[in-house]
Amino acid sequence: MSGRDYLGEFEHIIVLALLRLADQAYGVTVRQEIEFRTSREVSIGAVYATLERLETKGYVKSRRGDPTPERGGRSKRFFRVTAKGMAAVNRTQGALQSMTEGLDFIRSYS
């Protein structure tokens, strides 16, 4: 990793969802948050595949919660954004802002 990488579109969305959910971020809440805010149906597999990739890059960390009966005795896996992940999301946000600055979207697409 060069340390200057930008987040991909879905990676960016996932990291923003983790930041919104704070200490309540696990598979179900992340998936529902994305569906609620983007109106796009997301699979749990897509969420985990991306979270796994982000964890490998060191942008997120996970920890296991306690097993609960409504999950058939299975535990939750909570995720949080690391300092390196915060730097990546800031870099990506900055790049997007810089690229969109001064653009008149309404005029451009009319």
Partner 1 sequence: MTSQAFFLQPPRIAVWLVNQFTPPEESESILGDLLEEFSQLASTSGVAVARGWYWRQTVKTIVHLAGSGFRVAPWSTTFGIVAGLLLLRFVSGLPDKVLSALTDRYLAYWSTHFKAYMFWATDGMLIGHLIGSMLVGCMVALAAKGREMVAATTLGLIHGAMIGAALVWVAGHGPMDVRWMLWSCADPLAIVVGGAVIRWRRSAGASLPSHT
Q: How far is it, in rounded angstroms, from Cα 44 to Cα 36? A: 14
Q: What's the CA gap between 94 and 89, in Å, rounded?
A: 8
What would you report as the CA-atom Rg of the chain, rounded to the nearest whole angstrom?
Answer: 16
Q: Which is nearer to partner 1, 75 or 90 (CB)?
A: 75
Residue 26, interface with partner 1 (CB under 8 A)? yes
Residue from the set 24, 71, 94, 96 that interacts with partner 1 by CB under 8 A: 71
The amino acid at residue 64 is R
Query: What is the contact surface with partner 1 in residues (CB under 8 A)?
Result: 26-28, 31-32, 41, 43-46, 48-49, 52-53, 64, 68, 70-72, 74-77
